[in-house]
Structure formats: C-alpha cells, structure tokens
C-alpha cells in the first residue's frame, strides 16, 4: 500500500504513449458508442412528455416490459441456483469428463444467439424431443413465457458459473477447517461460512444474467411465438415499431430500457467494487 501511495505522488510515468493511447481510446469510444447512444436521448427529447408517456405507458409496451422483466428475473434466479451448483461441482468434485463440462459452460457465450434460439425451439416445441414428453403433462414450453425463460436460462448460465467459480476456487480450506474446529458440521459451515463469501459473486452473476436477459433478442424471438401482450418481449417491440417506421416509438421504448441497463451496470460495478474491497491484502 505504501509503495502505491508514493508512486501516486510521482507526477509522470516514464512510459511512453499515454497521450496517444488515451486519446485514441476516448475518440473511438465517443464516435462508436457515446455519440450514437446520445442519439437516443436527442431523439426522445424531440418528443413532448405526453407523447413519450403515451408510448411507453401503452398497454402493449407495459406488457412487453413485464414479460421481459419477469422472464429475465426467473431465468436469472434459476441460474443463481444451478450456476452455484455447477460451479460447486466443477471446483470441488472429481468426475470423468469434468474438463469437457467446464468448456461446455462457455457455449452460450460462443454460440450465436439465433442458433441457440432455433435449437431450443426445435427441442421444446410440442413435436420436439422434450416438448413432446411435456405435452401430455399439459406443460407447454415453446411459444409461452416458459419458453422465453428457458432461452434466457441458456443465455445467462455462464455469467453465474464464471463469477462464482474463481471465488469458490480461492476459498481457503483453512477457513472451513476453522469452522470445523469450532464445532460446525457440514451444513452449518456451508450456510454460515461458505455461502456468505459467495453472496457478492452470486449477486454479480445474477445481475449480469438479468441485464443480459432484458436485452436479449436472438435466442428469444424463435421460441417466444411473439404474441402481443403475451409473449412479446421489449426488444422485439422495438423491432416491430422500427419495421412500421415508428422511430419515435421505438426510441422511447429503447430509452426506458437504456436507463434500466445503466442502473444495472452501475449496480454491478458497485457490487464488484464492494467485494474487491473486502479482500484482505497481506
């Protein structure tokens, strides 16, 4: 800590390229991301509050937000549970094919969303491998909110696993042994000692999966059925408005989603900052 404080006082680094690298970074970021995104705000500012409100508060738009939120929330929740389980199993147990399973976790990151979408639809449609098994039980997956949730589970799975995994790996055996020596058996050690350490990464993973779910488009459109008021997600509604050349409507919906995304992004950064702060520096 001392060394970093003293080098902070150092006025300049002897390394070259600060001006050009930072300059290019800010230029590129502005041209490609900031200015285009600002366009959304400029466009909505061209609407009267009444127009804006009528668009974003119309029954169909509200319904789409609701569906996006509910499905993303439940998908993230399921990922929270199974992501923790998978990370646990991968870090702590030995079983054949473990390395392969570990690689498979990243598939949702690497697989184009449209491909995931048609594949999930094929399996969970009423005539699909699993859909046909569920049909007699009265469970419909494809073309219902359940299907959307399923697609979002697929998309969000790696977020929870990959944020929990390194923390679980770095957990010191000695901390668990300390609990053992104080008389705690397995379940209590998990609840009182291990789980509290995993809550920051679990929350981060949950927020990441949730944020990704709200914006997700490619994997959902195929399995959702896209019925207005029932299985129409917010990104799809933006798409529909665009196809009808209703740019203002599309932009207004996008504006609300953007604000939600920013809030989530800030929350995620805050969570990560908080969990980093607690690390004991030896």
Partner 1 sequence: MAGAVTVHLTEKSAQRPKHINESAGVRIVLISVALLFLVLIVLLPLVSIFTEAFKRGAEVYFAALRDPDAASALKLTLMAAVISVPLNTLFGVAAAWAISKFRFSGKNILITLIDLPFAVSPVISGLVFVLLFGAQGFLGPWLSDHNIQIIFALPGIVLATTFVTFPFVARELIPLMQAQGVQEEEAAASLGAKGWQIFWRVTLPNIKWGLLYGIILCNARAMGEFGAVSVVSGHIRGETNTLPLHIEILYNEYQFSASFAVASLLVMLALVTLVAKSLIEWKTAQKTPKGDG
Partner 2 sequence: MHIEVRNISKTFHGHKAVDNVSFSIERGKLIGLLGPSGGGKSTLLRILAGLETPDSGDIFINGKRVNDVQPQLRGIGFVFQNYALFKHMNVFDNIAFGLTIRKASKAEIKTRVGELLDLTGLRGFEHRYPHQLSGGQRQRVAFARALAPKPDLLLLDEPFAAIDAKVRKELRTWLKQLIGTLGITSIFVTHDQDEAVEVADEMLIVQKGRLEQQGSPVHIYTDPQTAFVAGFIGHSTVVEQPESLRGFGGSSLTAGAKALIRPEFVEVGREREIPFPSAAEKGKVRHIFFRGAHLELDVEVGSNRLSAHRSLDQEPLQPGDEVSVLIHRLYVISDESATIVENPLKVDPLPVHI
Beta carbon nearer to partner 1, 85 or 229: 85
DSSP state of 184: -
117/139 Cα distance (integer angstroms): 19
Shortest Cβ distance from residue 281 to partner 2 (Å)? 8
d(CA 23, CA 37): 20
How many other CB atoms sit within 10 Å of the CB of residue 112? 9
b (16+ CB within 10 A) / e for 8-41: eeeeeeeeeeeeeeeeeeeeeeeeeeeeeeeebe
Binding to partner 1, residues 229-258 (CB under 8 A): 234-236, 238-239, 242, 245, 247, 250-251, 254, 257-258
- The binder of 197, among partner 2, partner 1, none, by C-beta within 5 to 8 A per type, is partner 2
Q: Minimum distance between the CB of residue 101 and partner 2, rounded to whole angstroms? A: 26
> What minimum distance in Å lies between the beta carbon of 280 and partner 2?
5
Verify binding: residue 42, partner 1, rule CB under 8 A. yes
Q: How many chain residues bind partner 1 (CB under 8 A)?
A: 108
* DSSP H/E element including 113: helix 113-124
Nearest CB to partner 1, comparing residues 53 and 269 = 269
Helix, strand, coil shares of the chain, percent, nearest 5, are 80, 0, 20
State which residue, 172 or 243, has the beta carbon closest to partner 2: 172
Residues that bind partner 2 (CB under 8 A): 172, 174-175, 177-185, 188, 192-193, 196-197, 277-282
* CB of 103 or CB of 169, closer to partner 2: 169
114 binds, among partner 2, partner 1, none (CB under 5 to 8 A by kind): partner 1
Restricted to residues 139-168, the positions that interact with partner 1 (CB under 8 A) are 150, 153-154, 157-159, 162-163, 165-166
Neighbours of 44 (CB within 10 A): 20
Write b or e for each residue in 144-174: b if 16 or more Cβ atoms lie within 10 A of its Cβ, otherwise e.
bbbbbbbbbbbbbbbbbbbbbbebbeebeee
In the bound complex, what is the minimum distance in angstroms from residue 183's beta carbon to partner 2? 4
Tell me which residues in 263-282 interact with partner 1 (CB under 8 A): 264-266, 268-269
**Nearer to partner 1 (CB atom), residue 62 or residue 178:** 178
């Amino acid at each position: 800590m001392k060394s970093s404080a003293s080098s902070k006082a150092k006025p300049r680094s002897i390394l070259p390229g600060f001006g050009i690298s930072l300059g290019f970074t800010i230029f590129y970021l502005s041209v490609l991301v900031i200015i285009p995104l600002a366009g959304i705000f400029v466009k909505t500012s061209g609407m009267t509050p009444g127009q804006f409100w009528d668009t974003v508060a119309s029954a169909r738009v509200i319904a789409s937000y609701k569906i996006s939120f509910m499905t993303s929330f439940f998908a993230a929740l399921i990922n929270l549970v199974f992501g923790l389980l998978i990370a646990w199993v991968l870090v702590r147990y030995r079983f054949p094919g473990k390395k392969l399973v570990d690689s498979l976790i990243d598939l949702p990151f690497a697989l184009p969303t449209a491909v995931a979408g048609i594949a999930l639809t094929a399996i969970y449609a009423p005539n699909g491998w699993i859909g046909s098994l569920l049909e007699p039980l009265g469970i419909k997956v494809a073309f219902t909110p359940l299907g959307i949730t399923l697609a979002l589970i697929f998309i969000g799975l790696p977020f929870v696993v990959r944020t929990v995994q390194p923390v679980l790996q770095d957990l010191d055996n000695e901390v668990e042994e300390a609990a053992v020596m104080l008389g705690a058996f397995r379940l209590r050690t998990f609840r009182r000692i291990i789980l509290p350490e995993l809550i920051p990464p679990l929350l981060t993973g949950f927020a990441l999966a949730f944020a990704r779910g709200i914006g997700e488009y490619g994997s959902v459109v195929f399995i959702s059925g896209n019925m207005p008021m029932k299985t129409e997600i917010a990104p799809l509604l933006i798409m529909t408005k665009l196809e009808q050349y209703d740019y203002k409507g599309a932009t207004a919906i996008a504006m609300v989603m953007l604000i939600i995304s920013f809030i989530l992004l800030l929350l995620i950064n805050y969570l990560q900052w908080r969990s980093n702060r607690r690390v004991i520096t030896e």
